[in-house]
Chains A and B, each alone.
Chain A
C-alpha cells in the first residue's frame, strides 16, 4: 500500500493547485485523523483544533513530502503528536491526569494506519461498484441490516436472487483494482470484528 499510485497522484495534484485532489485526500483520510483524536479522548473542541492544525500542516508540506505514498503514516504521526500536545497541556488537573489515555501509542498508530488504508480502499472500491451492487451491499451493511424481504421489496427483486447477487457483488468488490492493490500490502491486520476499529 505504501506505493499506492493513486495517493501519490493525489498528493502531486494537490501540491499543484487542484482542490478536487485535496478534497479527495481529506475524504479518504479524515476518518484516520478523527479516529486517532477519539482514541486520545479529546473533546470535540480539541478535535477540531487538532484537525485544523493537521490539515494546515499538510497543506504546508504538500510539495515537500519525501514519500507521498506514506501519507497515511505522516497523517497518523502528525495527528498523534498534535493530540499529545493537547493532552499534555490539558493535564493541569488531577482528574484529567487520571483520565489520561492508557495505550501503547506506537502500536495503536500502526494499527490505525493499516486499518485506515484498508477502510479507504474498501470505500473506494465500494464507490466504484455499479449502483445495484452499492444499493444491495449498502442495505446489508446498514445498522441494523435490512432483511432479505425488505431488500426484495425495495429493489423489486425475488428473495431467491438476493444470495447469488450478494455473492456476485462481493466478488466484484474483491476483484476491484483498489483492493487488489491493497492485497499486495501488509497482512498484519485482524479480520473485522476483532480489530481496534470494531
Chain B
C-alpha cells in the first residue's frame, strides 16, 4: 500500500496517524480499557429500545398524559426492563414478570443490590448521580446487563 510513496508522503501519513490518535481523549481510551472488567461475566446485554426523552416527538401522540415522566426500556433476548423516574426514585419492572435481584453499578465500580418482587417490580432510591447500569438476575436464571444510564 505504501510502496509507491516517497518520503514526504510517508511522513505526512505518519503525521496523520499520530494526530488521529491524539484526537481521541484519554478518557475515551480508558473507558474502552475499563470495559474489559465485563469480560467473562456471563450476562446478556440489554439495549436501550425506548427513551421518552429521545422519543418524545413520536411518543407525544400516544402518551401525551405521561410526557413529563422519563421512561426507558431496555430489551435483551429474554426480557425487558421498563424504568420510570418518579421524583427521587427510579421504579422498574421486569417483563415478563418474575422475581430476582437487581444490582446498580456505577462507573466508579460501586454496586448496590435491590430485591425484585414476585411481579417483577423494583425501586432504586436515590437515583445515582452519575452514569450507572443495571444488572438483573432473575429467579429463573437469566442474567441481563443494561447499557449505561444517565438521568
Q: Are B11 and A52 in contact (CB under 8 A)?
A: no
**Residue A56 lies at the interface, judged by CB distance under 8 Å to chain B:** yes
Contact-residue bracket for chain B:
35 or more
Nearest Cβ on chain A to B81's Cβ, whole angstroms: 16
Q: Are A191 and B9 in contact (CB under 8 A)?
A: yes
Nearest Cβ on chain A to B127's Cβ, whole angstroms: 17
Report how many A-B pairs have Cβ atoms within 8 Å: 139
User: Which residues of the other chain, A, contact B17 by a CB distance below 8 angstroms?
Assistant: 118-120, 122-123, 126
User: Which residues of the other chain, B, contact A90 by a CB distance below 8 angstroms?
Assistant: 54
Contact A192:B57 (CB < 8 A) given known A22-B39, A26-B32, A51-B32 = no
**Residue B23 lies at the interface, judged by CB distance under 8 Å to chain A:** yes
**Interface residue from A57, A92, A187, A197 paired with B20 (Cβ < 8 Å):** A197
Excluding A47-B28, A182-B1, A183-B1, 15 further A-B contacts by CB distance (< 8 Å) are A30-B32, A33-B32, A59-B38, A92-B56, A122-B17, A123-B21, A143-B19, A166-B7, A174-B5, A182-B2, A186-B1, A193-B12, A195-B16, A197-B16, A197-B20
A-B contact pairs, 24 of them (CB 8 A): A14-B36, A22-B33, A26-B29, A26-B33, A33-B32, A34-B23, A51-B31, A51-B32, A52-B147, A52-B148, A53-B47, A56-B38, A56-B147, A57-B45, A59-B35, A93-B57, A120-B17, A122-B14, A123-B21, A166-B7, A170-B10, A170-B11, A187-B1, A192-B12
Q: Which residues of A contact B (CB under 8 A)?
A: 14, 17, 19, 22-23, 26-27, 30-31, 33-35, 45, 47-49, 51-53, 55-60, 62, 89-90, 92-93, 115, 118-120, 122-123, 126, 137-138, 140-141, 143, 166-167, 170, 173-174, 179, 182-183, 185-187, 189, 191-193, 195, 197-198
